[in-house]
Amino acid sequence: MNDRSRLALALCLVIAGCAGPMDRTWDDPTYQAIRDRYEETDRRVANDVNDDSVWPSTDIQSLDALSVDDAIRIAIDNNPRLRSAGYRVDAATGRVTQAGLYPNPAFVFEGEALGSDEAWGGDTIYKIEQEIVLGGKLDRARDVAEADRLTARAVFVAEEFAVASRVTRAYFAAVSAAERLARRQELAELASQLLEAASAQVEAGAATEPDRLRAEVVTEQAQMDLEAARLDLDTSRRTLASAMGLEETIDLPLSSSAIELPQLPDQEQLVAAVLEANSKVSMARIALERARAAHSLAKSEGVPNLFAAIGPRYSDRDDETTLDLSVGIGIPLFDRNQGEVRATLAERLSAAAELRSVQLDLLAEVSEAWSAYQAALLATQRYQGQLLPKAERTLDLTRQAYERGKTDYLRLLDAQQVLVESRIAHVDALRRLHEAAALLRELAQTDAPWREPRAEAGDEVTP
């Protein structure tokens, strides 16, 4: 090979190295923190599914008490489904890059008439072959991949709010269970006092044996309810730990009070927020945009690509170097991708109909959740404003009458029991209220206080 051949070959290699964009933007900064924090440990789990020791630990032990926002923050840090959704965003980001890459060139060596009598070297050819993409296929393929990436991001956001909703419901279920256990303990004590009083009256001849039997039944029922309340509290705390992505039961006191009523906008504002921000609507809109991009891609794929090759030819016989050039293009005679164009058009029309269907379904969900929220709110307000004060007033008057000898001890115990049962019903109404509010926040996907940094002790709180 002479100097001119070497120079021509070097030129071809330089051209090959420069052909096509070399975009390597793999990272999505939105989820960089997830990858940096957990990628190493998750890779170890992926390599050894039995290695449970690598899952990240939580700083819950550093807390003196657990608020609902703290529980949500810990859940978002530890929830494997949310982290999986974050990695899917990263995967989709890589596919966006891949979809926009130009086809690689090919380096081809050809030898003709090698070993002939006239010239042992014959003709040697060094060519660079390149497929030239026409019709804007790369841009349209990137649009489709970008729609998939946006869908993955919407799924991540939906999972984030779903985690927050699950934790909120589990948190206030545990709060209610603790309060219910305390009230059941009061009822059990009252039932025991009722049985003692009934037994004393039977022995004194002031009551009959059926009265004592009735008190025994009430006592047994109160003990059964008390044991059920203990089991319910244990189960609710385990459920809360599971929702937070933890294996151990949570023993910390729960600092967020159920008596603090959730603040939500009115129904019209909620509906507007749902139709604007809900991930299901976002995904339906992205699906419509993806179908449009896929339809455009299908039409562009009917345009054939151009194939070109260029390179030097060295003739040992003539001792000269020439340049070979070839160009080819397909003839869209039979296959113009017409079937895929028709299919993607139908999918585009289907996506438009699906968007409307999603909106209607969400409107129904908001209406149902709002109705449950209003019913629970009304019940809570009536217990706080009317029923509990009346039950407390009744107990106070009955106690005064008992102290003056105007009524018996059994009536006093009955008034106390009515008050405790009213408080239990109030606790249940508060739990339903927070569950409905959590569902409405999950649907609206606008209020996310857990994203704010945790307030440390001594920080000033702006009213």
pLDDT (tens digit, 9 = 90+) per residue, 217-251? 888 988 999 999 999 999 999 999 999 888 888 88
Separation of alpha carbons 171 and 163, rounded Å: 12
- 456 belongs to a structural domain: no
pLDDT at position 27 over 90: no
Please determine, for residue 195, whether its predicted confidence score (pLDDT) is greater than 90: no
Cα 444 from Cα 271, distance rounded (Å):
8
* pTM for the whole structure: 0.75
Measured distance CA(244)–CA(75) in Å, rounded = 4
Q: Residue 306 falls within a domain, yes or no? A: yes
Amino acid identity at 437 = A
For the stretch 270-280, pLDDT in tens is 999 999 889 99
Q: Which residues contact 370 (CB under 8 A, 6 or more apart)?
A: 267, 270, 436, 440
Contact 155, 88 (CB under 8 A): yes
What average pLDDT score do residues 82-87 get?
83
Bridge partners, residue 324, by sequence: 311
Residue whose tokens read 């891609």: 297
161's CB contacts (< 8 A; 6+ apart) are 279, 441, 442, 445, 448
Distance between CA 229 and CA 227 in Å, rounded? 5
Residue 131 has pLDDT above 90, yes or no: yes
**Whether the Cβ atoms of residue 75 and residue 167 lie closer than 8 Å to each other:** yes
Examine residue 280 and state whether it is found in any structural domain, yes or no.
yes
Is residue 53 domain-resident?
A: no
Q: Kindly report the CATH number assigned to the domain that includes residue 214.
A: 1.20.1600.10
Whole-number Cα distances in Å, 11 to 131, 183, 202, 323, 451: 19, 87, 114, 12, 55
Listed residue (170, 362, 165, 370) closest to 279, CA to CA: 362
- What's the total number of domains in the chain? 1
pLDDT at 239: 93
Q: Is 393 part of a structural domain of the chain?
A: yes
- Give the per-residue pLDDT at 9: 44
CA 296, CA 383: separation in Å to the nearest integer? 61
Given a contact cutoff of 8 angstroms between Cβ atoms, the answer to whether 164 and 72 are in contact is yes
CB distance 321 to 313 below 8 Å: yes
> Rounded to an integer, what distance in angstroms lies between the CA atom of residue 454 and that of residue 463?
16
Whether pLDDT at 15 is above 80: no
457 located within any domain = no
Phi, psi for 59 (deg, rounded to 5): -95, 25
The whole-angstrom separation of Cα 213 and Cα 31 is 66
- Domain presence at residue 205: yes
Residue 455 pLDDT > 50: yes
Cα separation, 281 vs 355, whole angstroms: 7
The one-character DSSP state at 306 is E
Strand partners, 328: 307
Domain that holds residue 79: 3-19+66-444
CB neighbours (10 Å) of residue 409? 15
Confidence band of 413 (pLDDT split at 50, 70, 90) = confident
Predicted confidence at residue 202, as pLDDT, reads: 83
CB 314 within 8 A of CB 2: yes
- Spatial separation of the C-alpha atoms in residues 405 and 236, rounded to whole Å: 45
Look at 87-96, 211-220, 431-440 and tell me which has the smallest mean pLDDT: 211-220
Q: Enter the tokens of residue 212.
A: 């004592």
Mean pLDDT computed over every residue of the chain: 83
Contact 419, 461 (CB under 8 A): no
Assess if residue 421 is contained within a domain: yes
Residue 112 buriedness (CB in 10 A; 0-12 / 13-18 / 19+): exposed
The 3 state secondary structure assigned to 372-430 is: HHHHHHHHHHHHHHHHHHHHHHHHHHHHHHHHCCCCCHHHHHHHHHHHHHHHHHHHHHH
